[in-house]
Amino acid sequence: MSEQQIADRALLELGKRLIAEDYRFVTPTPLTHERIYKRAAGSLAKDLRDVFGWSLPFDHTLFPREELATLEQAGIVERHGSLWRSTVRWSSLDGLLFAHSVYPTTQTDSVFFGPDSYRFALLIEAHLQQHFEPLRRVLDIGCGAGVGALIVARARHDAQVLAVDINPRALRLTAVNAELAGVNNLSVYHSDLLGSVDGLFDLIIANPPYMNDSQHRAYRDGGGALGEALSLRIVREALPRLQQNGSLVLYTGVAMVAGDDPFLESVRPMLASDAFTWTYRELDPDVFGEELLKPGYEQAERIAVVALTVTRRP
């Protein structure tokens, strides 16, 4: 095995251990995590939740020497002076366990997981409960840690689920998370949206980045004036790739300006054809309010998360 395969195997074994020890952790917003982190300033991790959930530093006595050496060799933990820190977080969602990037997510190839992940999962589950048509091919665009792909693959065993991302780290973590979940009908593939995948799909799901990020981090920056560009591109490229009765389920965020929804106004012309039916609703009217103080959001009055579902008529 390659070094990367060895590291991924070690991460998988760690996930199995956490499950066996009934590890559970719900990942909050970055702002909440920051506040908890400040509250714990100077404290060392006392258990696995502190290490792999709250990303607190720990000393060498928390793990047996051989186990610590194995985790270090796999790149799962790293030294910080005389202390150590995990390089990954583990989060619980609907009976599953997901590996994703450590707090704070400062690296350009960070794989994000947070409250959006939980809302996205609920949106997909609701869609599957309301639509009983067979799913042969499913695509998760920008899969990240693999939340959407795993929810579908677990619920529809006969579906061929394809998880794509431009971030190799996301693909590796999705593969580990899928194996940990015991899912065998999911495959990962490097692709810029639908650029490297062929054919039509019965279901396309996406939870793209939607912020205006000055550092242009791929997991966070949606592009455009207010982070809307990637979401619009997904709608534009996904609609022609839907089978008859196939659906696009898009979870995204919108910076509202003067009471108007610029994303909805931009997407309406794409949905004007009689070939589609669609629904659109706000799931949460106000998220990431701290972003409004940052450059680029001077005209925005709130950031809402929304759900767009488009279905191709038979």
Intra-chain end-to-end CA distance of the chain, in Å: 47
Dump pLDDT digits (tens) for 71-100: 999 999 999 999 999 999 999 999 999 999
Work out the pLDDT band at 214, boundaries 50, 70, 90: confident
- Beta strand 276-284 with 300-312 is antiparallel
Mean predicted lDDT score pLDDT of the chain: 95
Q: Which residues contact 9 (CB under 8 A, 6 or more apart)?
A: 1
Q: Please classify residue 195 by burial: count the beta carbons closer than 10 Å to its beta carbon, then call 0-12 exposed, 13-18 middle and 19+ buried.
A: exposed
pLDDT at 167: 96
Q: Which residues contact 279 (CB under 8 A, 6 or more apart)?
A: 307, 308, 309
**Coil, strand or helix at 280:** strand
Structural domains present in the chain:
3-101 (no CATH), 115-312 (3.40.50.150)
Going 45 to 50 to 54 to 60, the CA torsion angle's sign is positive
User: Residue 281 and residue 261: Cα distance in Å, rounded?
Assistant: 11
